[in-house]
Structure 1
Amino acid sequence: MINTATNLGIGDPHFNVAVYIAKAPPMPEYQDLTNLTPLNKGQINTINQACGNGWRKVFNVYAKVLFALPSEHYSFAKQAATWQIYRDELLLQANSKTALLFSPPQLNGNNTLHIIAGRTHAKNLINQGLLNITLDWLDDEFAINEQHKVIVCPYFDYRQLSNIKIARLSQLVANCAKSG
């Protein structure tokens, strides 16, 4: 049972960009999380080696998304020369302002961007009463609630969230930033 009052996952406790996915990496240290824990340098590679290509894609796409965000609102692309360096040196670490959460979004009116990876995950959160907002479904893959800065996009996988769709996600983020 997920503790819905706490952000459970990996990343910076002071995040301003959160990505929500349904399941933690299948490693013992991530199965019974009770809080949000920053990763240390090299831990993404450890997860990739232990859990395979699916997790490598999640981290790669997350870094690519951060690099595509509008620079007038987010400075991730200014912190490293490439998205690969950002992934390896900063992503989900202390002071990165990023989080990968396995718990439902905590929408408390702050300026946090909430990205729910996967339509199925978003609909499950809604059906379980864990996401109580109205989403404007733009098509079968993308939905948005600008007031709460929540965006639903395809799962973080190259085939589902291609570069073209990452660009679309970036535009939706820009729309949220303008409305907030």
Structure 2
Amino acid sequence: MKMLDENSSTPESISHYFGASTPKIIFYLPSAPIIPKHWLAINEQAIAQLIHANGNHWRKIMVIISKLVCKEFSDWRKVQPSLFQQNSAAHVPLAIVIVHDSFEKADDLALDPNIMHIICGKNTFSRFTFENIKLDQNLSLNEKQTIQYHHPIFLTPYLDYRQFPNALIALLRPLLHQNN
């Protein structure tokens, strides 16, 4: 996958893509944020601008992503402003993809085992069609706070503190950092 632009050949089901051009982790979300005028993901203020334009909801999303991808958990606050930077020693390279329609070639997500795909929430997951992949492993705090996966694809709760608390983040982090 690459950054969306006017020359992009990205599937029509993807409305937005921002982050590293060669991510190790891709987060799939169901709804696009409001993109500020003249906003560039590579700008040092990109995360702050995104949060300012979208409020607390996107602040929570960015905090959870920061906690998942930072190499040292205690550094997540320092890492957050640079999440979309292409090369950072402090976090695993990531991208955010907004999936607004059905994603019929979902089995293709598993072609590169070096890229982990985090599908955030059942609403987003319902947009994917998997024919050959069964999410047959679980990480769980309880019945509602569960991550189903078959590496490299993970179905997680939506990125909200009530659904995805720190204890669940702590269960997922080791899997995301095994080879990074």
Q: TM-score under structure 2 normalisation?
A: 0.71
- Give 1:102 deviation, angstroms: 1.2
114 and 7 in structure 1: CA distance in 2 versus 1, 3 angstrom threshold: farther
Equivalence map 1:7-46=2 (5 Å): 8-27=16-35, 38-46=41-49
Partner of residue 134, structure 1: 134
Q: State whether residues 68 and 173 of structure 2, in contact with CA within 8 Å, keep that contact through their aligned partners in structure 1.
A: yes
| Equivalent AA in structure 2 for residue 65 of structure 1 | L
2:60 maps to 1:93:
no
Equivalence map 1:1-180=2 (5 Å): 3-4=11-12, 8-27=16-35, 38-67=41-70, 76-77=71-72, 82-88=75-81, 90-96=82-88, 97-103=93-99, 107=109, 108-122=111-125, 124-126=126-128, 129=129, 131-132=130-131, 133-136=133-136, 138=138, 140=144, 141-146=146-151, 149-173=152-176, 177=178
- Give 1:169 deviation, angstroms: 1.6
Q: State whether residues 118 and 156 of structure 2, in contact with CA within 8 Å, keep that contact through their aligned partners in structure 1.
A: yes
Give the SS at the match of 2:60: helix
- 1:82 and 1:173 map into 2 onto residues whose CA distance is 16
- 1:61 and 1:120 map into 2 onto residues whose CA distance is 18
Question: Structure 2, unaligned stretches of length 5 or more?
Answer: 1-9
Work out which structure has the larger RCO, using CA pairs closer than 8 Å and 6 or more positions apart in sequence. 1
Give the SS at the match of 1:10: strand
Select between 17-26 and 6-15 the one with higher mean Cα deviation: 6-15
Give the SS at the match of 1:25: coil
| Equivalent AA in structure 2 for residue 15 of structure 1 | P
> Identical aligned pairs, as a percentage?
26
Question: Structure 1, unaligned stretches of length 5 or more?
Answer: 31-36, 68-75
Higher helix share: 1
- Give 1:95 deviation, angstroms: 2.2
Tell me which stretches of 4 or more aligned residues in structure 1 moved more than 6 Å: none
Q: State whether residues 114 and 150 of structure 1, in contact with CA within 8 Å, keep that contact through their aligned partners in structure 2.
A: yes
- Give 1:98 deviation, angstroms: 1.1
| Equivalent AA in structure 2 for residue 84 of structure 1 | R
Between the two proteins, the alignment pairs up a number of residues equal to 152
Give the SS at the match of 1:157: coil
